[in-house]
Amino acid sequence: MSNRNVSGGGLGNGEVLAGRYRIVSVIGSGGMSRVLLAEDMKLEGKRWAVKEMYAGDDRSERNGEEAALRRRMLLAEADTMSRLSHPNLPDIVDVFPVNAEGYLYLVMDYIEGETLLKRFEREGRRMAAEQVAKVALQLCELLDYLHTLQPEPIVHRDLKPSNLMLDPSGHVRLIDFGTARRYKAGRDADTVALGTVGFAAPEQYDGRQSDPRTDLYGLGALMYFLLTGGAYYTAAGQQPREAAALPEGLAPLVLRLLRASPGERYASAREAGEALRRWLGSRQPPQAAAPGAAWTPPLLVAVGALYPGAGATFAALALARLLHDHGVPHAVIEPPTAGAELAALLFAAKNAPPGYRCYNASAAVPDNGGQRHDERAWIEGHTLWMPAEEAAPQQQASGETAAYDSAYWFKQLHAIRRPVLIADIGAAWEHPAVTGLLEAATDIVYAVDPQLHKLELAATRHRLQQLGEWSRTPGRRLHCFANKRPRSAQAAVWLQLLPQPPACTLPAVDAVSIAEAGWIGRLPHDVPAVRQSLRQAMQPWLKTWLRDNAVSFPKKQRSERPGLATKLRNIFQ
């Protein structure tokens, strides 16, 4: 067996990359890259996918310019993939720079399954409309993530069946970013026109700049291909035979995505996803429950501050972001208290769907005719956001709420069908909406910070007594989250003085990260360095908690190898 390192060039079966990854076989190949199956020599039984990309040989003067261009493109692809984290993307766990033979290597998750193209061909080039719509809906969620990245959204520009992996459960992952680019507003045209014939949008060929709506065309072309038995949509339109293959009700959606003018397509991937959900919902007939079957209620986690300012909302959002990263569907709901501010923290005016209204907005409560506003769902990946409407100044002064209707509030609460429900209660423990919620909660998380004197307050002691009484009921769990841990050798002293051993300890986030995230309309939890530190702090507790409650953990977390971030920075600088 050869133990050649990266410097040895293209790898063959039995050879080892960097003394760790033994190549088993070639999974696939295309263009200037191959995907190799590798086994981990340090973690027994662990397998990885190694993407081997050829950037050209620097020693060839004739092909020097071509190699330089190819190398820049491959480095850009590696850089893009390494910065992303989403359930519909593979995680990059290791990277090796271009070697003397011109090869660059990425080590990533190995996905059990096959490409969408192979699945399509194996099933006789026929796919059920519902299956196509479910694949497209997952891609809408991914595209919404890519298109809303800050400061520069990412446009993929090459959605096609061979770029998509489908596992046995139907979960989709986009595996190739060779044509992706960061969108810069104001630019008239792309530097390079890229895309695959049959799936690329018209603007990719006539000199215009691609933008997020370019990916919507690609989504429509992909759906058209799968629904028509492998036909490609052309500017001249579909043939009668192909038109008949598009399912009734779904055809207008697909053809709208395929409009030649970007302005005539859906405005965003989120809007296209909502249309797909409506169509899928219309295809599902009401089903009677099986005899003896019962709906399993969600894990209801109330996250509160033991005293004002301890960081309940920060902890609730950290939990939500980690659940999202692991692909666990959940909802974050804010009770209708006077201090409601979740909509502001989420920059709802910028990030919520067009026409969105909070569940307790004035038009959402009963009027004289008993009608309610049919608010639009605010879904971001695996998170359903349900912020409350901010109370008016006079209501805040009096401690009242914007429009509190206990019956409507609990109807909203119990209508959520997700395995985990996070309720951010802040410090409003005595509000009637919160007291009722606590009676139904399976878990209470209370946040504390390093201000130890607040533990001596009479209100804090009373709260701890109430929490102790609540936790004595079977089936209820109480968790302490130590928040804002200082970078101090004496922090251990603080942790020993807490009311109970903390379930996890969340780091203090510097003011610069908070401010910079706010300037671009995002949460500080979405700053990569902050997200990683929160993940490391919370993940051990979360995995145990989900396992104990029989909640599936479908999304494997990105490997936390020290040095990977530094290695990436050195390569891409």
Q: Across the strands, what pairs with 498?
A: none
3-state secondary structure of 528: helix
Q: What are the structure tokens assigned to 546, written together?
A: 């989900």
Cα separation, 94 vs 561, in Å, equals 8
Q: Which residues contact 397 (CB under 8 A, 6 or more apart)?
A: none
Q: How many CB atoms lie within 10 A of CB 201?
A: 26
Range 113-145 burial, b when 16+ CB lie within 10 A, else e: bbbbbebbeeeeeebebeebbebbbbbbbbbbb
224 closest CA partner among 194, 247, 203? 247
Q: What are the structure tokens assigned to 376, written together?
A: 């639009």
Cα separation, 259 vs 214, in Å, equals 10
Cα separation, 356 vs 349, in Å, equals 9
How far from 299 is each of 262, 285, 359, 420, 552, CA to CA, in Å? 42, 27, 21, 5, 13
Q: What are the structure tokens assigned to 379, written together?
A: 């879904």
User: Is 238 buried (19+), middle (13-18) or exposed (0-12) by CB count in 10 A?
Assistant: buried
Q: Which amino acid belongs to residue 301?
A: V
Q: Which residues contact 84 (CB under 8 A, 6 or more apart)?
A: 146, 154
Q: What angle do CA 249, 253, 254 make, to 5 degrees?
A: 110
46 is an annotated ligand-binding site residue: no
Handedness of CA 366, 347, 565, 184 (dihedral sign): positive
Q: Convert 164-175 into a string of H (helix), E (strand) and C (coil).
A: EEECCCCCEEEC
Q: Where are the alpha helices (DSSP H) in 426-490?
A: 432-440, 458-471
Cα separation, 35 vs 442, in Å, equals 45
Angle between helices 269-283 and 129-147 (to 10 degrees): 160
470 closest CA partner among 440, 430, 502, 425? 440
Cα separation, 355 vs 375, in Å, equals 8
How far from 436 is each of 131, 333, 439, 519, CA to CA, in Å? 41, 14, 5, 37
Q: Which amino acid belongs to residue 93?
A: V
Nearest-Å Rg of the Cα atoms of the chain is: 26
Cα separation, 393 vs 566, in Å, equals 48
Q: How far apart are the first and last CA of the chain?
A: 35
In this structure, the chain runs to a length of 573
Q: What are the structure tokens assigned to 408, written together?
A: 């409507």
119 closest CA partner among 63, 59, 172? 172
Cα separation, 46 vs 466, in Å, equals 47
The binding site for ATP consists of 51
Binding-site residue set? 51
